[in-house]
Structure 1
Amino acid sequence: MAQSLWFLFIITNLVFSAYADQLQRFEHPTKTHDSLSFLVLGDWGRRGDFNQSQVALQMGRIGEKLDIDFVVSTGDNFYEDGLTGENDSNFEESFSNIYTANSLQKQWYSVLGNHDYRGDVLAQLSPFLRKIDSRWLCLRSFIVDTELAEIFFVDTTPFVKMYFTNEAGHKYDWRGINSRKAYISNLLKDLDLALKESTAKWKIVIGHHAIRSIGHHGDTQELIKHILPLLKIYGVDFYMNGHDHCLEHISDTESPIEFLTSGAGSKAWRGDINEKNRGGLKFMYDGQGFMSVQLNHTQAEIVFYDVFGQVLHRFNKLKQLHSSI
């Protein structure tokens, strides 16, 4: 009963603040002001297939061990083509019925991936889904403020021009995006202002598409052009994404930014790795798994796990005493 009341508190008290920026802001209370812990998962929704259920099992185990505050999804939440509507059984069969561990009964913050845009986007964004499972929160772009960290969720799919030219051979649901150019321009202005005004100790940006990756899809040139400069200007610590079905850690060679890919929630083992794009590469695993993030005022610890819950890669980042801005 107490846990149900906590969910009700989270949903009814996700506060929209009338800040100067236009990105909806949610305040997430944490266990303590001194630490934050969460899991990051991407590219997962396959009704338990392709080891999705096994990854979920290990997420539950690690989530309990770390006493996580919430879960972040980096998109491509439902395969192959998103949801067909608010009552699509794929929502429960790929989400509610899979991530059943007690430790995962926390808020899930999710962005859309390109596969989600192939379905009924408005359904996946609908508050109706929260009535089915109160953990679910998916919006195009928004901010989660935990005081210790601000996490900026960015809708990256509209940045990729290929999706608008039918080169990929798929139909996308662009309702709500009347003009790609105007949509991107407004989002960049909102993100610029939000990052500029942020006073958080840690700044984290979440998107579906990679800025840097040596996986199948590789770097996203549109994000390198439009998003990366903002990350550098405002001292963002981490950019986290999915899209490539692997786990990666790449350090930027020109700034303190760490690029982290967690897109291995189900189908993986693609096998095509870009051997020519390894600048700053610290770790790459072409298989299923997920990532954990633990923060305090002085350091961050990032850990990548495989489908068996084994640690594949771990690194710490110290927080500089003075801002780079």
Structure 2
Amino acid sequence: MKRLLFATIISFNLFFAFAQTTPFDYEKQTGYKGNNIPDLTYLEDSYSFLVLGDFGRVGDYYQQDVARELGHAAIVAEAEFIVSVGDNFYPNGVASTTDYHWISSYESIYKDPSLYCDWYVALGNHDYRGNVQAQIDYSDVSRRWNMPARYYSKTFEIDDNEKMLLVVMDTNPYIDGYHEDPEKYADLAKQDTALQTQWLIEQLNTTDPQVKWKIVVGHHPLYSGGKRKESEDTKLFEQKFAGLFDQYKVDAYICGHEHDLQIIKPQNRFTTQFLSGAASEVRASGKRDGTIFAAAEPGFMAFSILDNKMLIQSVQATATGAKVLHKHELTK
């Protein structure tokens, strides 16, 4: 009887211990070899995903540090998927689905078991210098790489009553300066921006009452305090889409192109921009009107949705670990 009682107490204690642990604590108990990110906030029962951009540099620059910590963050935050905002392969995209760049810059770099989840991928300008169709076709080669078309959307169920709409744009055809160099961007002139804009409006004008959060992903920023702060292309892109995103109540526009981390919401705008383009190379950052956060550090962003709030954490990756540089909250 005493042995039975003792065994029951031990079983109860083990169950209680596992029930109270974070996702990272649980994985460590079951054999995971990765490290924790102690100041990355885990919200129990939240719906989370990670965002990186401008990454494909055969593991050089800061790419391997960011990849390692991205894997740790996916465990800590219990991320559902990864978003890449483009410039997936430097300097000139890929030639085919068997290009060695897939191995040297993607498969052999993002190898933490937590990163074998779905990746939803956008196209950057460097991707357009190669074979764009090969990146689309790689969706049939890789279980985790998702790029069904140059632009696409997907709706995620956050819980039984709420959904999140993720709209992935192809922003490259909208950048006027690229059309001045048809040799470098040979495929660009074939793209119908009017058709994509019509599609974008149809997606954002959803009649689904359960869609609570609207997120748009693209490569190019609406605003920047960094290198392209005064760029004519950036200013024209803002003119084309900032008002439209406000009109359709887009909660977050996620982008890259600048090689840093920035959060910007200009006065009187509805949409907040989250720029996460520091997954390999890093450039000097800066501020402008509406800058909430800016850092010239390698890293990525973690998004967690719970109830009426979205928590966005900007994470710096170093050679020895990671730390959260900034936390921002959107409230419905």
> Structure 2, unaligned stretches of length 5 or more?
1-44, 158-162
1:84 paired to 2:70: no
Aligned-pair distance for 1:274? 5.4
Q: Pick the aligned partner of 1:187 from 196, 204, 216.
A: 196
Q: Say if 2:286 and 2:295, in contact at 8 Å, map to a contact too.
A: no
CA distance in 1, matches of 2:212, 2:266: 20
The count of aligned residue pairs is 274
CA distance in 2, matches of 1:197, 1:311: 34
Q: Secondary structure at the match of 2:201?
A: helix
Q: Pick the aligned partner of 1:141 from 131, 148, 151.
A: 151
CA distance in 2, matches of 1:242, 1:266: 12
CA distance in 1, matches of 2:236, 2:125: 14
1:235 paired to 2:217: no
Partner in structure 2 of residue 315 of structure 1: 328
> Structure 1, unaligned stretches of length 5 or more?
1-33, 320-325
1:262 paired to 2:276: yes
Q: Secondary structure at the match of 1:117?
A: helix
1:109 paired to 2:120: yes
Partner in structure 1 of residue 216 of structure 2: 205
CA distance in 1, matches of 2:313, 2:75: 15
CA distance in 2, matches of 1:310, 1:68: 17
Aligned-pair distance for 1:229? 1.8
Partner in structure 2 of residue 225 of structure 1: 239
Change (3 A) 1:134 1:232: same
The higher radius of gyration belongs to 2
> 1:8-33 deviations in whole A, cap 9, x for unaligned?
xxxxxxxxxxxxxxxxxxxxxxxxxx
> 1:130-160 deviations in whole A, cap 9, x for unaligned?
3542111123111120032101111001100
Aligned-pair distance for 1:96? 0.9
CA distance in 1, matches of 2:265, 2:176: 26
Q: Secondary structure at the match of 2:273?
A: strand
- Runs of 4+ in structure 1 deviating by more than 4 angstroms, as ranges, are none
Partner in structure 2 of residue 13 of structure 1: none
Partner in structure 1 of residue 305 of structure 2: 295
Q: Say if 2:223 and 2:235, in contact at 8 Å, map to a contact too.
A: no
Aligned-pair distance for 1:44? 0.1
Q: Say if 1:80 and 1:115, in contact at 8 Å, map to a contact too.
A: yes
> 1:188-218 deviations in whole A, cap 9, x for unaligned?
1111111112541100010000001111123
Q: Secondary structure at the match of 1:113?
A: coil
1:286 paired to 2:286: no
State TM-score, norm by structure 2: 0.79
CA distance in 1, matches of 2:252, 2:176: 25
CA distance in 1, matches of 2:139, 2:202: 29
Q: Say if 2:286 and 2:294, in contact at 8 Å, map to a contact too.
A: no
State, as a whole percentage, how many aligned pairs show the same letter. Answer: 34
Aligned-pair distance for 1:165? 0.5
CA distance in 1, matches of 2:225, 2:180: 25
Q: Secondary structure at the match of 1:108?
A: strand
State TM-score, norm by structure 1: 0.80
